[in-house]
């Protein structure tokens, strides 16, 4: 017999979605008084999710994409779970202090069930620290940094996202697609002066050295740097063929412009996070072609709701026939998929029950199948970090190989600037 009460509720939700989706974040900045207050310590008839996104500041080029992925995911959650799902989004201005301030404001006025993260390890760790203090489940993508999981005693933080070790393995994997007699071997690492910069650089050096590559350059730079001329000169003089780094998006774009002005480029370029946003192509055009990135999700992945994501995004945003979904949309949509599956497995809105489900379940999302280790890391070896490549104005899956019209064969080597 049909559950007419649930069916009626879903019909109402779909109607509100079509007419503005205030609950889902279209006017999320105006939502200040959902729920009964408190820190989310008990269950309720609704699920209230608090989140911040960088709508301004150095990561603002990703903020709109995160919002779209979260809103599409919440729409799906409302079709799958028995409770009404409400998402409250605030601008964190790309500032960890603002992350905590905005989350404090949301949780002081609402009975929050869980918290979702922002973009980058800098902002996500600020959100997770707040959630840990509040004993509220926290889901954070765009967060490859492993060390906090091991050092901070996480109990409530879960990261459905490839980590530094996965990014390093993916780098080894895509380089392995090059025939051995053509494969470049000299690696240069530009290391941001940050915890994650150091961790990712170590993972790259260890993984690639074991595979027979030679790290001929590894030098640091400050986050926010605007002059990369010294690193470019050092890379050129050391014969760097494979350049790896984790710059901010503005830093990555600036670095490529200065490489062009100095007439130098490597044969392979991988800028994790730096090459993630659509602003990469709008700022660089064909000069941004060939760049690789590891954004967690890339057009070309299949299964686990990918086609549903494409259909939902196309309907909501009038996606053109040859247009691609921005990568951050898929990464944030994946967060909502994990949340939905955890709530269904818990059969409860209690934070403790959801925490238990996050620790026990295996999740199937657009980025793959995985479970969580006790410290909230995705279980080692279960996730393959997809490597995307900028090609003809879009980011497409280059590794692992996939049977999809949205995937491409790895384009290499990078040609000289005057041949693009």
Residues 204-252 pLDDT 10s: 999 999 999 999 999 999 999 999 999 999 999 999 999 999 999 999 9
Kindly give the interhelix angle for 229-237 and 249-261, rounded to the nearest 10 degrees. 60
Query: What is each CA distance from 330 to 9, 240, 312, in whole angstroms?
Result: 27, 33, 12
**Residue 321's pLDDT is what?**
83
**pLDDT value at position 62?**
92
pLDDT of 29 > 60? The answer is: no
Q: Are strands 138-139 and 84-91 parallel, antiparallel or unpaired?
A: unpaired
What pLDDT does residue 420 have? 85
**Could you tell me which of 398, 372, 395, 394 has the C-alpha nearest to residue 383?**
372
CA distance 317 to 313: 6
Q: Is the pLDDT of residue 6 over 50?
A: no
Average pLDDT score over residue span 251-270: 98
**Which has the higher per-residue pLDDT, 131 or 24?**
131
Distance CA 377, CA 51 (A): 20
Which residue reads 């002081």 in tokens?
108
Residue 290 has pLDDT above 60, yes or no: yes
Candidate from 22-26, 246-250, 264-268, 301-305 with smallest mean pLDDT = 22-26
pLDDT of 22: 34
Q: Which residue has the tokens 């062009």?
A: 260
pLDDT at residue number 357:
98
What integer best gives the mean pLDDT of the chain?
90
Mean of pLDDT values over 14-30: 35
Lowest-pLDDT range of 24-38, 39-53, 266-280? 24-38
Residues 378 and 370: their CA atoms lie apart, in Å, by: 6
What's the average model confidence in pLDDT over 354-361? 98
For the cut 70, the answer to whether the pLDDT of residue 32 exceeds it is no
CA contacts within 13 A on the Cβ side of 297: 31
Closest CA to 102 of 122, 127, 134, 136: 127
The C-alpha atoms of residue 84 and residue 114 are separated, in whole angstroms, by 14
Give the mean model confidence (pLDDT) for residues 339-360: 97
Least confident segment among 25-29, 136-140, 334-338: 25-29
pLDDT-above-90 percentage for the chain: 87
Residue 45 pLDDT: 77
Average pLDDT estimate for 129-154: 96
Domains, the chain, in order of start with CATH, read 4-162+301-370 (3.40.50.2300), 165-295+386-419 (3.40.50.2300)
Range scoring the smallest mean pLDDT among 67-71, 98-102, 173-177, 319-323 = 319-323
Predicted confidence at residue 10, as pLDDT, reads: 35
Bridge partners for 158 per DSSP: 139
């Amino acid at each position: 017999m049909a559950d007419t009460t649930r069916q009626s509720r879903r019909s109402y939700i779909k109607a509100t979605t079509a007419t503005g989706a205030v609950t889902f974040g279209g006017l999320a900045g105006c939502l200040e008084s959902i729920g009964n207050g408190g820190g989310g310590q008990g269950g309720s008839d609704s699920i209230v999710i608090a989140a911040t996104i960088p709508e301004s500041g150095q990561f603002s080029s990703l903020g709109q994409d995160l919002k779209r992925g979260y809103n599409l995911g919440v729409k799906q959650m409302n079709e799958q779970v028995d409770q009404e799902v409400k998402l409250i989004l605030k601008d964190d201005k790309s500032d960890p202090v603002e992350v905590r301030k905005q989350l404090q404001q949301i949780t002081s006025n609402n009975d929050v069930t869980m918290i979702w993260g922002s973009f980058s390890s800098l902002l996500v760790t600020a959100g997770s620290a707040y959630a840990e203090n509040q004993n509220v489940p926290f889901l954070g993508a765009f967060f490859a940094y492993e060390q906090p999981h091991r050092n901070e005693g996480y109990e409530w933080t879960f990261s459905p996202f490839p980590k530094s070790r996965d990014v390093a393995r993916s780098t080894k994997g895509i380089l392995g697609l090059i025939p051995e007699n053509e494969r470049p071997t000299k690696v240069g690492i530009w290391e941001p002066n940050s915890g994650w910069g150091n961790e990712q650089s170590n993972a790259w050096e260890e993984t690639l050295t074991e595979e027979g590559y030679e790290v001929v350059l590894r030098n640091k730079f400050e986050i926010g740097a605007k002059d990369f001329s010294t690193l470019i000169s050092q890379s050129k003089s050391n014969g760097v063929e494979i350049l790896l780094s984790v710059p901010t998006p503005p830093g990555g774009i600036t670095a490529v412009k200065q490489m062009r002005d100095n007439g130098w480029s490597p044969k392979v370029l991988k800028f994790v996070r730096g090459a993630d946003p659509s602003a990469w192509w709008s700022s660089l055009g064909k000069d941004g072609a060939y760049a690789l990135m590891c954004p967690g999700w890339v057009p070309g992945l299949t299964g686990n709701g990918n086609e549903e994501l494409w259909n939902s995004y196309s309907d909501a945003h009038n996606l053109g026939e040859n247009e691609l979904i921005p990568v951050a949309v898929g990464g944030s949509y994946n967060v909502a998929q994990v949340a939905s599956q955890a709530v269904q497995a818990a059969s409860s809105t209690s934070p403790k029950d959801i925490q238990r489900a996050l620790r026990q379940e295996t999740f199937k999302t657009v980025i793959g199948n995985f479970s969580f280790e006790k410290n909230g890391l995705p279980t080692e070896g279960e996730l393959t970090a997809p490597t995307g490549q900028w090609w003809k104005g879009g980011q497409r899956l280059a590794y692992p190989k996939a049977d999809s019209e949205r995937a491409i064969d790895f384009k290499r080597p990078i040609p000289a600037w005057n041949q693009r």
